[in-house]
Amino acid sequence: MNYFDLPLRKIISIGESLSKKLESAGIKTIGDVLFYFPIRYDDLTKLKDIKDVRLGEEVVLKGKILQLSHSKTFKKNIFITEALVSDNTGSIRVIWFNQPYLKNVLREGGEYYFFGKIYFDKKSLYLSTPFFEEVKDKQKYFDKIFPVYKEIKNLPSRQIANLVKKTIEKIPELKDYLPDFILEREGYLKLKDAFEKIHFPSSVKEAELAIERFKFEQVFSIILLTLKIKYKISRQIAPVIKPDIDLIKKFLSTLNFNLTLAQKKAIWIILKDLEKPRPMNRLLEGDVGSGKTVVALTCALNCIKQGYQVAFMVPTEVLAKQHFKTAAKLFADFGVNIGLLTGREDKFISEKLKNQEIEISERKLLQKTEKGEIDILIGTHTLIQDKVKFARLGFIILDEQHRFGVEQRAKLAKSPIRENGKILIPHLLSMTATPIPRTLALTIYGDLDVVLLDQLPEGRKKVVTKVFSNKDKEKALEIVKEEVLKGNQCFVICPRIEEKEKKEMELVSVNEEYEFLKKRFPKFNIAKIHSKLKKTEKEKIMQDFRDGNIDILVSTSVVEVGVDIPKATCILIENAERFGLAQLHQFRGRVGRSDLQSFCLLITDKKSLKTLQRIKAILESKNSFELAEKDLQIRGPGDFIGKKQSGMPDIAMQALSDRKLVEKAREYAKELLEKDLHLKNYPYLRSKLVELAKKIHFE
């Protein structure tokens, strides 16, 4: 067993109560404690003279208690301890609230260090509820850089620090994950030394050195993992599917629009991938409305006409139905049998049936698929169920689920093609409308080859984005009114469903906005949709909206990834500060799906730095790829990959924003794999990657 996976009790004694508190935060092992890094450091080495303190600053003071009093407030019965503390330059009041035990701890005439924040009341400046320690020959806390940890329920930061200190004192010299040649070349700290310095540095510089080492280690490990996956895939065998140029030309000539140069280039790149005897593992990245679906279906048709089946998996039933209808329309003249499998509604289209949609039982649809009578099966996660089997699956398309590619390819290919004693692995194309910053493309998406669609189809106009305060909301509503009177439709996005959370009363809810808009626009057809509605209700509302029976649809973020509504030309987003850039970009992508001028109206009163940066970015960015880089700078990578779901530590999240570090780690990873592909000479690093693969997954 890895040393870090040993129970904490193996090296230090901890009581039942403390053990339960730690377990509630997922801390059970030696590694859990050692990798519970500080969220910041308090520099308790820099003393300030009392005469120099300023309102709002955090300070370290050293002084003698001249006066000390304890009292309770009359109305709220709050226990107050107040001291007058003096140094050679002046004096200041120090106040503690609701800490009655201080009666037995503090004493008049005693000299103490204090660390806290300066406030002001009607009388004067004062130091509020500071951390303190009596002056001694050797200080336990002061005169040091002190770590501050994210507090665990009923377990304050200082107690966590003591636990970490005991753990570090007990651990032996540790075998390092990082190869010696990297440690020596970069001058990185050895592992145990790095743990000591990240938790208890003697200077800010020491902490920075330790942080840099762990950031590199995390990114290096992730890149190694993805590169190894890429190599593993490259050693497998896939069906060789040659491009049928005449077929492609004929198919493209039937379209009622011209492809962009970017679409043509993407089709050619994918067709050349399909021609190789190694499985394609490609990510098609393009803005909302850039035409990813037609690129994927063009390549799918090429596979189908050479005797292979295609699986097309999407995240929602609504999208599955939309792609089913799109495929039926585009393949109408090409004799393609299309299946729709969603778990609730299953359909079948065949040339023999004059391309009519026929409802079919799931059992019959699965039988047809297994016999090879279905050329392309479109569906949701139902496609990866054990009961779904293909006869000759050659091509898998995943929409907005690229990080599940390896796992789902395996599940979809559970009935692989066998030819000449060889098992053929299907090719994989993932699609995303979420732009991926360069650093993430090199790390967590490192096993995927990326092709970009960086042009919008002809005739599309750039969506006009405007920002309004709540005071000016009426101006935004006038734009909504004008669009509806033109015969167009509008989305209104709200951050929550109901107006009941007291602490968030300033947030607009779907229910209250719906009632407000019904009164404001009594002649318009207005509907609302949110996650609490039954699936059938949501689908009916979306169908009515798509059919033009609804003028304004009030919604939560359920429309972030959704259907194509060409007549939707306006989206109004309440409390825009509550959404990240990627989400705002996805919302904006719900409009501008035709040659009509469209509008994105952001309502916000918040003036925080992050909000202003976000709004500025969405107004100024030339394209979604530039926007993605700015989003990464503002918020960090957590929102791109789902930090909570990914299992990645905070320090890895920080590292993924550091482009230079990522590029350096990638070069080292490639260098190492060239020397020792299977890491035979690096058993500790190999075991770390095994554990990493279990703990980390990306969305």
* CATH classification of the domain holding 419: 3.40.50.300
Whether residue 669 lies inside any domain: the answer is no
Distance between CA atoms of 570 and 587, rounded to whole angstroms? 10
Band of residue 640 on the pLDDT scale cut at 50, 70, 90: very low
Residue 69 pLDDT > 70? yes
Whether residue 69 lies inside any domain: the answer is yes
In 3D space, the residue among 612, 609, 638, 640 whose CA is nearest the CA of residue 624 turns out to be: 640
pLDDT tens, position by position, 524-559: 999 999 878 887 888 889 889 989 999 999 998 776
The pLDDT of residue 622: 60
Q: Are residues 400 and 517 in the same domain?
A: no
Q: Are residues 407 and 505 in the same domain?
A: no
The pLDDT of residue 59: 96
pLDDT tens, position by position, 135-185: 998 888 888 898 999 888 888 888 999 999 999 999 998 889 999 999 999
Whether residue 411 lies inside any domain: the answer is yes
In 3D space, the residue among 295, 307, 288 whose CA is nearest the CA of residue 270 turns out to be: 295
Whether residue 29 lies inside any domain: the answer is no
What is the longest distance spanned by two Cα atoms in the chain? 99
The stretch 123-140 carries a mean pLDDT of 92
Whether residue 40 lies inside any domain: the answer is no
Whether residue 365 lies inside any domain: the answer is yes
Q: Are residues 478 and 421 in the same domain?
A: no
The pLDDT of residue 187: 96
* CATH classification of the domain holding 95: 2.40.50.140
Residue 431 pLDDT > 60? yes
Cα atoms in the 13 Å half-sphere on the side-chain side of 191: 19
Distance between CA atoms of 153 and 150, rounded to whole angstroms? 10
Task: Read off φ and ψ for residue 75, nearest 5 degrees.
Answer: -80, -55
Band of residue 631 on the pLDDT scale cut at 50, 70, 90: low
Structural domains in the chain (count)? 3
Band of residue 613 on the pLDDT scale cut at 50, 70, 90: confident
Whether residue 199 lies inside any domain: the answer is no
Quote the mean pLDDT of the chain: 86
Residue 302 pLDDT > 80? yes
Band of residue 405 on the pLDDT scale cut at 50, 70, 90: very low
What 51-57 contacts at long range (C-beta under 8 Å, 24+ apart), as own/partner pairs, is 51/89, 51/90, 52/89, 53/92, 53/118, 53/125, 53/127, 54/118, 55/118, 55/119, 55/120, 55/125, 56/117, 56/118, 56/119, 57/117, 57/118
The pLDDT of residue 568: 93
The pLDDT of residue 373: 94
The stretch 121-127 carries a mean pLDDT of 92
Q: Are residues 363 and 471 in the same domain?
A: no
The pLDDT of residue 595: 82
Report the run of H or E that residue 689 belongs to, with start and end: helix 683-695
Q: Are residues 427 and 468 in the same domain?
A: no
Q: Are residues 482 and 362 in the same domain?
A: no
Q: Are residues 428 and 469 in the same domain?
A: no
- The lowest-confidence range among 191-195, 217-221, 562-566, 677-681 is 562-566
Q: Are residues 468 and 417 in the same domain?
A: no
Q: Are residues 103 and 51 in the same domain?
A: yes
143, 176, 199 - which closes a domain: 143
411, 432, 453 - which closes a domain: 432
The pLDDT of residue 441: 59
The pLDDT of residue 400: 76
For residue 387, what are its two tokens? Answer: 């009961």
Q: Are residues 297 and 380 in the same domain?
A: yes
- The full length of the chain comes to 699
The residue among 647 and 155 whose pLDDT is bigger is: 155
For residue 382, the 8-state DSSP code is G
Percentage of the chain lying above the pLDDT 90 cut: 52
Distance between CA atoms of 274 and 268, rounded to whole angstroms? 10
Whether residue 230 lies inside any domain: the answer is no
Are 649 and 35 in contact by the 8 Å Cβ rule? The answer is yes
Distance between CA atoms of 497 and 450, rounded to whole angstroms? 37
Most confident option among 441-445, 544-548, 630-634: 544-548
Q: Are residues 378 and 480 in the same domain?
A: no
Domain that holds residue 384: 245-275+291-432
Band of residue 648 on the pLDDT scale cut at 50, 70, 90: very low
The pLDDT of residue 208: 93
E strands in 391-494: 393-399, 417-419, 422-424, 427-432, 449-453, 464-468, 489-493
In 3D space, the residue among 647, 576, 646, 652 whose CA is nearest the CA of residue 608 turns out to be: 576
The stretch 295-304 carries a mean pLDDT of 98
Most confident option among 342-356, 375-389, 530-544, 643-657: 375-389
143, 163, 196 - which closes a domain: 143
Residue 641 pLDDT > 60? no
Q: Are residues 377 and 468 in the same domain?
A: no
